[in-house]
Structure 1
Amino acid sequence: MSGVSVNQTDCPEVKVPFTVFFVVGAVSLAENLLVVVAVIRNRNLHSPMYCFICSLAAFNTIASVTKTWENLMIVLSDMGQLEKRGPSETKLDDVMDSLLCMSFVGSIFSFLAIAVDRYITIFHALRYHNIMTMQRTGAILGAIWTTCGVLAVLTVTFFDFKFVMICLVVFFIVSLAVICFLYVYMFMLARIHAKSIAALPNVRKSGLQQRWSSNMRGALTLTVLFGAFVVCWVPFFLHLIIIMVCPMNPYCECYRSLFQLHVVLMMSHALIDPAIYAFRSAELRHTFKKMLLCSDSQLCS
């Protein structure tokens, strides 16, 4: 799934310096590892939503490390240190493509799991802890990672078959549609519930409003995260669609000439997500501060 050599067109391929890939990959790796460690160390963050966010951070880390690793191999190849298409390099390229595909599918599944979790939190608040237990959360995460690993290997192994590419495209479109529908439906119901709370007596209203506002802030944060995912991944995914639909068209080649920019944008998603977590979550922001300043022995040990 790496860039394919472009045909002769009026659009030369845009090259991005390796240092850009390296810096984005290194910073995003540090940020996402910080998220994972923060969730593990802070017991206040031991909830299903933060477990799914931790999983999303892990998938983001895989994407950044994979593309940084791949670009490092390209640099070594250009320096004559590696064969461009030796048997070991081909296998290594397949492994990196599998990891990248796993990250992509895993991010979608993670967003879907988070959306369902927020829906249950908001509209089934009294039964939430009975529905979303930590045991079920662990089972869901295990199923997500196992499914993503199997799908990634199968997709890369049979990627040359057009049917596999069509399935990947359909999966992407259907997944986006389902997640978007869930968020729209959630916010539509939220308006109805907000009006119901407003009609209650003041004695009961304050507590419900506070809990409602907190849950809606969480849903809004996840909507922002999902929007960032769409913006960062769609150009790269469109590149894959173009390979399938019009591999020889000069106009398509003009778009494909921007492939490295699309990869940088895709890697930037792993850079943006932790910033959104920290900006929207006071508890996570407080944990980051304590970890970085080592002001809490339990978090720094």
Structure 2
Amino acid sequence: MPVQRRLLGCLNSTPMATPQFRLATNQTGPQCLLVSIPDGLFLGLGLVSLVENMLVVVAIAKNRNLHSPMYCFICCLALSDLLVSTSNALETTIFLLLEVGALAMPAAVVQQLNNVIDVLTCGSMVSSLCFLGAIAVDRYISIFYALRYHSIVTLPRVRWAIVVIWMASILSSTLFITYYNHVAVLLCLVTFFLAMLALMAALYIHMLARACQHARGIARLHKRQRPVHQGFCLKGAVTLTTLLGVFFLCWGPFFLHLTLIILCPQHPACSCVFKNFNLFLALIICNSIVDPLIYAFRSRELRLTLKEVLLCSW
């Protein structure tokens, strides 16, 4: 398999080595800690994400009470995460079959199939980040413009926003994969990630500050003790740290990889980071598994609907 031939590392560069950790010595630099990700782990993570996000999509589609703007964004996030993990697992499966000779394809067909999967993967990654930002914006409006929320965030506007996000994701991913060897492409992706991170951090921190201020007002009104609202703020801070921490931990290494390609493509220390690219992809798939736990399964009504789905009580 070619290693990192594309912007996304071609996604078919998953090593077949079974050891999880090993040290390798660069001829021109220090030792590198390499984390080998077996193909079976890619397939397993992809399967878990597929089942989990499919359940979210089915539950939201089944329950009409969940056909609200917020759940529309959550449903689209689940669909994006589903595509991220599925495309990774699909390409891993195809190239495994090609390696063992169980699948025979002309080189031209393999190339075209690889192009399609790369566009699908890149597009689903971009859309996943966009919908994470959209959920943050939706929650921000629901808190700071509560009285006008239903007039600002209407279902027609949400549908248009969803269509625009999907179309922009497909178009941008096609351009990214076509011009994957241009520095401008990497800069656009890194800038996009930093913009999403800054947007989410600013909105959620502002929401936490408002919630703590509201809790202090309620505590004064009811003459409660100070530790009450401090405990509330601490709980909110933990939730915020978890939310942003998971986002940065899962997506940050991938975009660090892209940044280092721009800054130091030939430096031995950067080469150590490049060798762990498959780990960064695995973290993105892990994010696809964690997202439903953070954004979907915390809803009691969605959990009840999911229980009905699992019990086949249609």
- TM bracket (short chain): 0.7 to 0.9
Q: Equivalences for 1:199-214 in 2 at 5 Å?
A: none
Deviation of 1:99 after TM superposition, in Å, equals 1.6
TM-score by length of 1: 0.83
1:265 aligned onto 2:286: no
Task: Tell me the residue number matched to 2:114.
Answer: 93
Q: Equivalences for 1:1-301 in 2 at 5 Å?
A: 1-3=7-9, 9=26, 10-11=31-32, 14-80=35-101, 86-198=107-219, 224-277=242-295, 279-294=297-312, 296=313, 300=314
Tell me which moved more, 2-11 or 225-234: 2-11
Deviation of 1:243 after TM superposition, in Å, equals 2.6
Summarize deviations over 1:17-43 as a string: whole Å, max 9, x none.
222111111121111011001001112
Summarize deviations over 1:60-93 as a string: whole Å, max 9, x none.
0110011111212331332246789933322222
List runs of 5+ in structure 1 lacking aligned partners: 203-212
* Aligned-CA RMSD value: 3.0
Task: From the superposition, tell whether residues 126 and 2 of structure 1 become closer, same or farther in structure 2 (CA, over 3 Å).
Answer: closer
CA–CA separation in structure 1 for the residues paired with 2:126 and 2:268: 30
Number of positions where the alignment pairs a residue of Structure 1 with one of Structure 2: 283
**Which one scores higher on RCO, CA 8 angstroms, separation ≥ 6?**
1
Tell me which moved more, 85-94 or 108-117: 85-94
CA–CA separation in structure 1 for the residues paired with 2:9 and 2:203: 34
The answer on whether the counterparts of 2:204 and 2:240 sit within 8 Å (CA) in structure 1 is no
Letter in 1 for 2:168: T
Task: From the superposition, tell whether residues 20 and 201 of structure 1 become closer, same or farther in structure 2 (CA, over 3 Å).
Answer: closer
Task: From the superposition, tell whether residues 3 and 149 of structure 1 become closer, same or farther in structure 2 (CA, over 3 Å).
Answer: closer
Task: Tell me the residue number matched to 1:206.
Answer: none
Q: Percent identity among equivalent residues?
A: 44
CA–CA separation in structure 2 for the residues paired with 1:177 and 1:98: 26
Task: From the superposition, tell whether residues 225 and 58 of structure 1 become closer, same or farther in structure 2 (CA, over 3 Å).
Answer: farther
CA–CA separation in structure 1 for the residues paired with 2:84 and 2:136: 22
CA–CA separation in structure 2 for the residues paired with 1:277 and 1:174: 20
TM-score by length of 2: 0.79
CA–CA separation in structure 1 for the residues paired with 2:129 and 2:141: 19
Letter in 1 for 2:9: G
Letter in 2 for 1:245: L
List runs of 5+ in structure 2 lacking aligned partners: 1-6, 16-23, 224-231
Greater share of residues in helix: 1
Deviation of 1:245 after TM superposition, in Å, equals 2.5
CA–CA separation in structure 2 for the residues paired with 1:126 and 1:115: 18
